[in-house]
């Protein structure tokens, strides 16, 4: 193992050679420190950013509802004009914010927020406050407006019923889900020990693969960077083995020379902050897109009991109860699936989707499919509920104002932030 360069043991002239420091480190059991069981970070980042994107979307929707209720309560004369102009203003503001964030101007603010929210309690407090404001304030607003406009409604219960409490309640469900998801994900940071490498069963390729996996678990090192670092590590290991070290020793020394993965990840992030933010923004948009997909599935499934009624099956229970129950059940399934696959499967699915969406034709196909399903679901809705319940014009307004622009913007964003494109734009 002693393989220093003859006369000068401190020299690190050839790469098979060890410095005195490295020899001391090896003698003190350094191999065990690197090759022994270690904690491995799971790739939870994509899920975290997807949950945040999902939350941003829900927050945006709640803000829209807030504005819509304002317009309904106080500008009764032309609600459509008021609603549309408010929607446009909101889109303008959000687009400006998104552009500022993507071009790196809001980076510092966002970094500060990310730093603040590494404390779970602060994040959850802020989310609860936001939820209280965005979900409950429309309710209060509407109650005030209704009692003001219609003095006949006297009891609180009457006002609550009139102000469509149920809508507000199920608006708050996504918020609660997001809060729960983030609470679930954040403390998982670097928990689970994925695999341990034992000296007796040391395999160089396995060890290197595990090293790369750990590197990729961070959010700033992409596959190309990891491949480059892996090749470097392999060359160093080969040189050290040629210098007379055993495989585990060579691997341990090479890893030590390479530097800690967390430090590496941090340095990579520092070297290319805008790339990191682009990736984060892309994950957030993927979260919104997945939310859309989830909604489409949800709407379609929810309509099934109503369709049962249409086809003449005797109603076992009140269709409204059935409808709400299926909503709760679908949310529960969604939450379970998210929790089950937050660590890997979800990220892989989103990764596959986002890779697919680098191709404009595939993106356009998916977009057309989603829009078709969306319109189809709205039509089913009208058929199931009857045109008297949900006027066609209302559905169209909601779809044109809310569904379509968000969907289009999300897809455009995913395509724009696609890494291949981003690299070309950065001149890499």
Partner 1 sequence: MKISKELVAASATPLVLSILAQGQSYGYAIICRVRELSQGEVTWTDGMLYPVLHRLERQGLIQSHWGLSETGRKRKYYELCKHGVQVLETEREHWRAVNAMLNQLWKEEPSCRIAMDPIRTAA
Distance of closest approach, residue 352 Cβ to partner 1, in angstroms: 23
Instruction: Please give the residues from 19 up to 48 whose contact with partner 1 meets the rule CB under 8 A.
Output: 19
**Site stretch for partner 1 (CB under 8 A), options 10-18, 82-90, 122-130, 307-315:** 10-18
Query: What are the residues whose beta carbons fall under 8 Å from the beta carbon of 273, sequence distance 6 or more?
Result: 104, 107
Per-position x/- string for 265-304, each x denoting binding to partner 1 as judged by CB under 8 A, each - no binding: --xx-xxx--------------------------------
Picking from 52, 86, 294, 292, the residue whose alpha carbon sits closest to that of residue 175 is 52
CB 73 within 8 A of CB 145: yes
309, 315, 317, 319 alpha-carbon torsion, rounded to 10° = 20
State in angstroms the smallest separation of the CB of 8 from partner 1. 8
Q: By the 8 A CB rule, do 179 and 124 touch?
A: yes
* CB of 264 or CB of 347, closer to partner 1: 264
Identify which of 8, 15, 5 has the alpha carbon closest to the alpha carbon of residue 234.
Answer: 15
The residues in 44-83 that bind partner 1, with binding defined as CB under 8 A, are: none
Among residues 6, 7, 13, 311, which is the contact residue for partner 1, using CB under 8 A? Answer: 13
Residue 242 CB, shortest distance to partner 1, in Å, is 13
Both tokens of 163, joined, read 């102000």
Binding test (CB under 8 A) with partner 1, winner from 113, 124, 130, 258 = 258
Smallest separation, CB 133 to partner 1 (Å): 41
Which stretch in 8-16, 87-95, 127-135, 168-176 sits in contact with partner 1 by CB under 8 A? 8-16
Applying CB under 8 A, which of residues 257, 333, 341, 397 lies at the interface with partner 1?
Answer: 257
| Residues 345 to 384 in contact with partner 1, rule: CB under 8 A | none
Using DSSP, state whether 196 is helix, strand or coil: strand
| Interacting residues with partner 1 between 201 and 240 (CB under 8 A) | 225, 227-229, 231-232, 234-236
Closest by Cα among 370, 368, 378 to 398: 378
Three-state SS for 14?
coil
| Residue 41 C-beta: closest distance to partner 1, Å | 17
Place of tokens 């989103």: 350
CB of 268 to partner 1, least distance (A): 5
Residue closer to partner 1 by CB (options 13, 311) is: 13
Buried b (16+ CB within 10 A) or exposed e, 72-86: bbeeeeeeeebbeeb
**Are residues 128 and 179 in contact, defined by beta-carbon separation less than 8 angstroms?**
yes
Q: Is residue 324 within the footprint of partner 1 (CB under 8 A)?
A: no
In 28-164, which residue ranges form alpha helices assigned H by DSSP? 30-35, 45-74, 79-102, 107-116, 120-131, 137-149, 156-162
Q: Which is nearer to partner 1, 206 or 263 (CB)?
A: 263
Number of residues that bind partner 1 (CB under 8 A): 29
What is the spatial distance between Cα 186 and Cα 117, in angstroms, rounded to a whole number? 9
**What does the binding site for partner 1 look like in residue numbers (CB under 8 A)?**
10-13, 15, 17, 19, 225, 227-229, 231-232, 234-236, 257-259, 263-264, 267-268, 270-272, 426-428
């Amino acid at each position: 193992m002693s393989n220093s360069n003859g006369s000068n043991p401190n020299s690190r002239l050839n790469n098979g050679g060890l410095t005195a420091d490295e020899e001391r480190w090896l003698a003190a059991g350094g191999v065990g420190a690197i090759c022994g069981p270690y904690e491995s970070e799971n790739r939870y980042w994509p899920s975290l950013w997807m949950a945040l994107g999902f939350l941003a979307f829900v927050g945006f929707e709640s803000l829209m509802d807030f504005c819509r209720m304002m317009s309904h309560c106080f500008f009764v004369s032309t609600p459509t004009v008021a609603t549309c102009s408010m929607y446009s203003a909101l889109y303008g503001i959000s687009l400006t914010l998104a552009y500022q964030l993507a071009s790196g101007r809001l980076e510092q603010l966002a970094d500060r927020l990310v730093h603040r929210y590494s404390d779970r309690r602060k994040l959850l407090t802020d989310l609860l406050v936001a939820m209280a404001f965005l979900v409950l304030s429309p309710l209060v607003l509407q109650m005030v407006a209704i009692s003001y406009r219609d003095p006949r409604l006297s009891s609180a219960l009457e006002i609550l019923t009139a102000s469509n409490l149920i809508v507000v309640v199920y608006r708050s469900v996504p918020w609660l889900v997001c809060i729960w998801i983030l609470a679930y994900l954040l403390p998982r940071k670097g928990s689970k020990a994925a695999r341990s490498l034992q000296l007796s069963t040391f395999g160089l390729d396995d060890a290197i693969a595990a090293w790369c996996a750990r590197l990729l678990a961070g959010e700033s090192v992409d596959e190309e960077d990891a491949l480059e670092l892996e090749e470097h590590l392999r060359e160093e290991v080969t040189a050290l083995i040629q210098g007379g070290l055993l495989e585990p020793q060579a691997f341990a020394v090479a890893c030590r020379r390479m530097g800690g993965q967390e430090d590496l990840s941090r340095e990579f992030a520092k070297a290319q902050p805008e790339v990191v933010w682009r990736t984060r923004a892309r994950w957030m948009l993927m979260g919104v897109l997945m939310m859309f997909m989830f909604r489409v599935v949800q709407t379609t499934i929810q309509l099934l009991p109503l369709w049962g009624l249409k086809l003449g099956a005797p109603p076992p229970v009140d269709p409204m109860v059935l409808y709400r129950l299926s909503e709760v059940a679908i949310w529960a399934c969604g939450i379970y699936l998210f929790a089950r696959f937050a660590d890997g499967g979800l990220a892989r699915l989103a990764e596959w989707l986002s890779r697919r969406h680098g191709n404009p034709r595939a993106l356009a196909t998916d977009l057309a499919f989603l829009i078709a399903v969306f319109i189809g679901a709205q039509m089913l809705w009208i058929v199931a509920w009857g045109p008297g319940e949900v006027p066609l014009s209302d559905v169209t307004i909601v779809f044109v104002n809310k569904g379509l622009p968000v969907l289009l913007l999300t897809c455009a964003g995913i395509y724009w932030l696609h890494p291949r494109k981003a690299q070309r734009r950065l001149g890499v």
